[in-house]
């Protein structure tokens, strides 16, 4: 399984795909309705942490315990790092 991160200036997205990449098994983003209700902005570290926690919850519900982290060329700092650390805290193993 692969946890892929994508970020824009306004939001952050995470999805877990099957090993071949043909099927999305779980996804979370700062655009989801309940996430937008509790977040002030979709483009800060708090939003990234919330998305990281959310993807960890969805992965556990789908029976996924370990993933390979794909940062998609983004540097491992700021929002990408916050998402990864929150997913780890939520129980995902990288």
pLDDT beyond 90 at 82: yes
Share of the chain above pLDDT 70, in %: 100
Looking at residues 9-21, what average pLDDT do you find?
94
Q: Which two tokens stand for residue 30?
A: 């700062």
Decide: helix, strand or coil at residue 32: coil
Q: 58 with 33: CB under 8 angstroms?
A: no
Give the Cα separation of 48 and 30 in Å (integer). Answer: 8
Q: Where are the domains of the chain?
A: 2-89
Give tens-digit pLDDT for 21-30.
Answer: 899 999 999 9
> Right CATH number for 2-89 from 3.30.70.20, 3.40.50.150, 3.30.950.10, 3.30.420.100?
3.30.420.100
pTM score, two decimals? 0.92
């Amino acid at each position: 399984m692969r946890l892929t991160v994508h970020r824009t200036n306004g939001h952050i997205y995470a999805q877990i795909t099957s090993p071949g990449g043909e099927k999305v098994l779980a996804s979370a983003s700062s655009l989801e309705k309940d996430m937008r209700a509790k977040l002030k902005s979709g483009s800060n570290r708090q939003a990234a942490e919330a998305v990281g926690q959310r993807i960890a919850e969805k992965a556990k519900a789908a029976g996924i315990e370990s993933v390979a982290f794909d940062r998609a060329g983004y540097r491992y700092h700021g929002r990408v790092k916050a998402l990864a650390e929150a997913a780890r805290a939520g129980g995902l193993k990288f």
